[in-house]
Amino acid sequence: MANHRENRWLENFTRQAAIRRALIVHGEVQDLCYCPYTQQYRCVSEVLVNTLKNMGFHHVVVWDRFSGVQGVSDNVWQGLVRNTVAASQSRNNFTMQGEAYDVGAGSTMPPSTTVPQADDFLAVVYHNLVHPSAERYAFLIDWSQYLFGNANALSEQERQWLLVMSKAIRNAPISVTEMEALTRPGNLIVLLCSQLGALPPALYMGNPAIADVLIPPPGRPEREGFLQRTLHAWCLKSLPRPGEVRFSQFVDSLDGMTIRDLHQLLKLSRVNSSEPLSFEHLINLYKYGQRESPWEDLSRGRLATIREELKKRVKGQDEAVEKVASVIIRAYTGLSGLQHSIKQKTPKGVLFFVGPTGVGKTELAKALAEFLFGDEDACIRFDMSEFNHEHSDQRLVGAPPGYVGYEEGGQLTNAVKKRPFSVLLFDEIEKAHVRILDKFLQILEDGRLTDGKGETVSFAETVIIFTSNIGASEITCQADPEVVRQQFLEKVRHHFIHVAQRPELLNRIGDNIVPFQFITNEEFLVAIARAKLQPIRERLREKYRFKDLVFDDEAKALRAIVSCVDRQMGGRGVLNQLVKHLLDPLAIFLFEEDEPAAYVGRTLVVHQAGNEPKFAFEVV
């Protein structure tokens, strides 16, 4: 039995078909639909045919430009053709050019044809709408989005078709006194298309004889109904049953899928019948091509080391590391997003890093991506200063139809499609245009975003990190750390409430604003400098085949370099001083000395003159 909440659009279709002369059915026309009359899942066109027949239409004639006429026997179609040709001959002197049909010169339409062209088919439609017989006919034009080209540049032939349909709909006889005519539907045209915009607006705009019926994506009742009817066919590990909590979770996990997706998911479960999967793993396999989510690969033991692993790359930001660890642990335990909905479709975690430049905000995001997904490249960075124009949101989600770049899609949506398990880093978010911020509201609330092509992209497997330097130019490093923390929090609140005027975005982020401290401690700066020596050593080994890079006194040398760092610049200041005092002199030394072949297997020794950051080099 069909659930009365299923396919509400079909009720609207039945209601409109009883009173209108033409209907445009659009939306999810490529999907499957449960037919209450055959009690089977069929394509939308078949469901419409069965519905029209159940309403009392004697014949439902289906036509498209490739297959021609379907749904009626040759005898019925040829009878329609003969009646149309006879009427044409009697009224228009054996041509079909006259006022009665307006189907264009030269259309003769022999009675034996079974694949009529559009001119000939529309002639039959016109005759039966304007001169109805005792039998009722419905004409369903399938794939009608391919009937017309650009609505602003219609050809002469397309304008002729538009005229024929418009006149047929307008000139169909009506009766306001005959009770039988008022209680039964008249002959009907149904155009089935994927998008309403694919048809010329002149056909339907301002025309009360035409109604459009939208087929929406399947909702929860449709998904639940499909599962209940097909539950016996699923091959799953621990098959959930109706009434169980896991069955409800199964239905919710299919949110955003079409019925055709569910049918293909069912087939996939049978393909893997030798090794049944849980429904969570089956959905992952269908969506992403892999059974397990990298989130499930995180073991309790590995996750227990997250703080130590992140601190290896990020120095002096223990509070930030602790906050990141708590967010990831919440995601691991399955409690992420429950403050919004039990469906858990929100991103795994949302963090807002704010603080001075060069203190490890971007580095922490990269370290987190490597920890979670085993690859630093899983941190997808967007420099938001590039999105400071009003219409730059189209670069993120894609241009709308008809605009340049529509086919390419959006940078953000394409990146998440390609790599659904990732850390999304939106750097310097305060520099983005405020229209960009509106896009994040939907991502943070629903965990999904629709791109310019109309495709919905899920962010449910991502961690989203915003970084910002708001207030960095006004807050000094001399203040107490707790005072600095409160000042950064206040600057962020002021920016989103009074400058960007988007307090709702602040509410979505919640308590996940993480202030980073100035790095003023010499030990932390030395640790950063020491960490940056490793890639220098690796580069010398790769290109020059040095055995090693050693200092007379490495700690002393690094302290000398760090002494030149502006504490306001943090870790980036360390990099600048390394380049100035170590890398530049080293580059000159390598350029002026022997060929690289002379360095193979030798050691590069760095000598320091006194306590100043002045170095000399020797190859031994």
Give mean pLDDT, residues 523-544: 86
- pLDDT tier for residue 341 given thresholds of 50, 70 and 90: very low
DSSP H helical ranges for 382-496: 393-397, 411-418, 434-446, 481-494
Give the range among 195-204, 335-344, 517-526 with minimum mean pLDDT. 335-344
What pLDDT is attached to residue 15?
A: 94
Read off the tokens for 199: 């048809």
Number of Cβ atoms within 10 Å of the Cβ of 100: 20
CA 493/CA 384 separation, integer angstroms: 19
Give mean pLDDT, residues 290-307: 76
CA 515/CA 361 separation, integer angstroms: 10
What pLDDT is attached to residue 202?
A: 92
Residue burial 101-117, b: 16+ Cβ < 10 Å; e: rest: bbbbeebebeeebeebe
User: Using one digit for the tens of pLDDT, what is the confidence trace for 443-456?
Assistant: 888 888 888 777 88
Answer whether residue 425 shows pLDDT above 70. Answer: yes
Higher pLDDT, 399 or 152: 152
Read off the tokens for 344: 């858990």
What pLDDT is attached to residue 104?
A: 39
Number of Cβ atoms within 10 Å of the Cβ of 38: 11
What pLDDT is attached to residue 445?
A: 85
**Max avg pLDDT among 19-23, 430-434, 498-502, 573-577:** 19-23
Answer whether residue 123 shows pLDDT above 90. Answer: yes
Give mean pLDDT, residues 152-181: 88
- Alpha-carbon dihedral angle through residues 179, 181, 183, 186, given to the nearest 10 degrees: -170
Percent of the chain's residues with pLDDT above 70: 90
The conformation of residue 236, written as its DSSP 8-state character, comes to B
Read off the tokens for 252: 């919710």
- pLDDT tier for residue 111 given thresholds of 50, 70 and 90: very low
Give mean pLDDT, residues 322-332: 89
Read off the tokens for 287: 């969506």
Give mean pLDDT, residues 420-424: 89
CA 525/CA 531 separation, integer angstroms: 10
Long-range contacts of 579-583 (CB under 8 A, 24+ apart): 581/613, 581/614, 581/615, 582/536, 582/606, 582/613, 582/615, 583/536
pTM value > 0.85? no
DSSP H or E stretch at residue 137: strand 137-141
CA 164/CA 128 separation, integer angstroms: 12
Read off the tokens for 427: 């750097």
What pLDDT is attached to residue 342?
A: 45
Can you say whether the dihedral through the CA atoms of 305, 307, 313, 316 is positive or negative? negative
CA 123/CA 165 separation, integer angstroms: 9
What pLDDT is attached to residue 101?
A: 38
What pLDDT is attached to residue 284?
A: 82
| Furthest CA-CA distance within the chain | 114
Between the two ends of the chain, the Cα-to-Cα distance in Å is 87
What pLDDT is attached to residue 102?
A: 43
Give the range among 212-226, 305-319, 514-528 with minimum mean pLDDT. 514-528
- pLDDT tier for residue 2 given thresholds of 50, 70 and 90: low
Give the range among 205-214, 299-308, 473-482, 587-596 with minimum mean pLDDT. 473-482
What pLDDT is attached to residue 358?
A: 81
Give mean pLDDT, residues 377-402: 83
What pLDDT is attached to residue 108?
A: 40
Beta strand ranges found along 21-135 (DSSP E)? 22-27, 32-35, 40-43, 59-64, 68-70
| CA-wise closest residue to 289 among 281, 278, 297, 299 | 281
What pLDDT is attached to residue 313?
A: 87
What pLDDT is attached to residue 485?
A: 86
Answer whether residue 480 shows pLDDT above 70. Answer: yes
What pLDDT is attached to residue 458?
A: 86
**Max avg pLDDT among 86-95, 244-253, 282-291:** 244-253
- pLDDT tier for residue 484 given thresholds of 50, 70 and 90: confident
Answer whether residue 72 shows pLDDT above 90. Answer: yes
Give mean pLDDT, residues 388-407: 75
- pLDDT tier for residue 205 given thresholds of 50, 70 and 90: very high
What pLDDT is attached to residue 524?
A: 80
Answer whether residue 185 shows pLDDT above 50. Answer: yes
Answer whether residue 52 shows pLDDT above 60. Answer: yes
- pLDDT tier for residue 297 given thresholds of 50, 70 and 90: low
Residue burial 132-152, b: 16+ Cβ < 10 Å; e: rest: eeeebbbbbbbbbbebbeeee
Mean pLDDT of the chain: 85
| CA-wise closest residue to 350 among 376, 367, 327 | 327
What pLDDT is attached to residue 402?
A: 63
